[in-house]
Amino acid sequence: MPKLTAEKLQAELAQKKMSSVYLLTGEDTYRKQEIINQIREILQPDDFNFYTSSADKADLGEVLAMANTAPVFSVSRLLVLTGIEKLRKEPKEALLRYIENPLSTTTLVLTHNDSKKMKTEKALAAACGAAGCVTEFAELKQAELNIWIKNRLSARGLTGNFDAVELLCQSVGSELAALENEIEKLYLYTLARENKTITKEDVLACIGFSKEENPYELANAILACNKTRAIQLVDKLLDDGEEPVAILAKMTYPIEKMARIKRMSEGGMAAGDIVHAAGLFPWESRLVSAARNYPSQQQFLAAMNRMIEADAGLKSGTASDPKITLKGILLTLFR
């Protein structure tokens, strides 16, 4: 089976078209887990015929023995190994040998969470593609994220106006689990209401902002190159109990936007073309004229490298101090 898009894979699973092997790649662990749940729902394995583990903690010899064994009082067996990029050479070669000749009654689901490393896994990708399917789940970009939110709202009988969807993205970030939680809150919030159109006011009410608070304040401070105010807001958000990962998302969006504008402006593009190419709204044209005051490309690059490190550290719990981590990004950007 050739490499499938996420949408195509979901469509095939909806029709209960199954494969012996699934390789789910990319950094978006939330959508990959949804696929695993969908496969498990189709196969309905009992405890004797279901196994899941992170690859680095699994006894691969035992896993492969299960994969090569007929299911117990069932028609199928489901095995899930997550994070196979952590496997060493010899276990990975043993896994590859099984994939080249999988047992038809076993469904093996593998997740690979390192896109850079996956580029070198040509033999693994080829074997999984021949035995089943390979699907990449890259983190959703802004336009894709908006569509994802609208689809999730629609699945609950809701519609979101433009401002509401944009505010969800700005306030919650691109973490799909957090967005799913907020959408569920919006569903419950409007349960007894005839009008199922979600407005910006609904989003503010559910996220927990008061009318006096501005969820865009941190982004606005960064876009205005106001280092002092941005640092103060990071302190305030953390002291108020905001999740560090959510604050990082609020910082990432404006910094990436500024970097795009700066690069295009220095490349000699006309202001109108920059507005279109950078995906800006008409009222954001003022950001183009302010590009001359933005940090240098070297500063943007250094800040983005720190954002990548911060994202990994905050999600894994290895970041020593969220305040130092987040404020360090701003100090790097505006040094």
Domains (range + CATH), the chain = 6-136 (3.40.50.300), 141-214 (1.10.8.60), 216-335 (1.20.272.10)
Under 8 Å CB-to-CB from 76, ≥6 apart: which residues?
A: 43, 45, 49, 105, 106, 107
Q: How far is CA 133 from CA 99, 129, 274, in A?
A: 11, 5, 39
Q: What is the pLDDT of residues 286-322, one digit of tens each?
A: 788 888 889 999 999 999 999 999 988 888 888 778 8
Residue 212 confidence (pLDDT) above 50: no
Residue 211 confidence (pLDDT) above 70: no
What's the pLDDT score for residue 209? 54
What's the pLDDT score for residue 106? 96
The answer to whether 207 and 183 are in contact (CB under 8 A) is no
Q: Rounded mean pLDDT of 217-230? A: 88
3-state secondary structure of 21: strand
The answer to whether 109 and 36 are in contact (CB under 8 A) is yes
What's the pLDDT score for residue 119? 87
Query: Tokens 């183009």 label which residue?
Result: 288
Of 160-164, 226-230, 322-326, the one with minimum mean pLDDT is 160-164
Closest Cα partner for 164 from 177, 144, 176, 179?
179
pLDDT class for 50, splitting at 50, 70, 90?
Answer: very high
Tokens of 329: 């990004």
How large a percentage of the chain has pLDDT more than 90?
50
Task: Find the angle CA(257)-CA(150)-CA(137) to the nearest 5 degrees.
Answer: 65
What's the pLDDT score for residue 84? 93
169 or 4: which leads in pLDDT: 4
* 294 DSSP 8-state letter: S
Task: Find the angle CA(268)-CA(274)-CA(279) to the nearest 5 degrees.
Answer: 155
Mean pLDDT for all residues in the chain: 88
What's the pLDDT score for residue 150? 92
Query: Tokens 């990962």 label which residue?
Result: 245
Strand order in the sheet with 133-136: 50-54, 77-82, 106-112, 21-25, 133-136
Tokens of 324: 């130092």
What's the pLDDT score for residue 32? 92
Ordered DSSP codes for 96-127: HHHHHS--TTEEEEEEE--HHHHTT-HHHHHH
Closest Cα partner for 205 from 189, 192, 217?
189
pLDDT class for 275, splitting at 50, 70, 90?
Answer: confident
What is the rounded distance in angstroms from the CA atom of residue 229 to the CA atom of residue 124? 49
What's the pLDDT score for residue 14? 92
Residue 203 one-letter amino acid: V
CB-based burial label for 101 (10 Å; 0-12, 13-18, 19+): exposed
Residue 210 confidence (pLDDT) above 50: no
Length of the chain (residues): 335
Closest Cα partner for 259 from 197, 333, 155?
333
The gap from C-alpha 161 to its chain's centroid, in whole angstroms, comes to 23
What's the pLDDT score for residue 178? 81
Where would I find the beta strands (DSSP E) of the chain? 21-25, 50-54, 77-82, 106-112, 133-136, 159-160, 197-198
Q: How many CA atoms lie within 13 A of 123 on its CB side?
A: 10
What's the pLDDT score for residue 273? 82
pLDDT class for 126, splitting at 50, 70, 90?
Answer: very high
Q: What is the pLDDT of residues 69-121, one digit of tens each?
A: 999 888 999 999 999 998 988 999 999 999 999 999 999 999 998 888 898 89
Residue 272 confidence (pLDDT) above 70: yes
Under 8 Å CB-to-CB from 98, ≥6 apart: which residues?
A: 64, 67, 68, 108
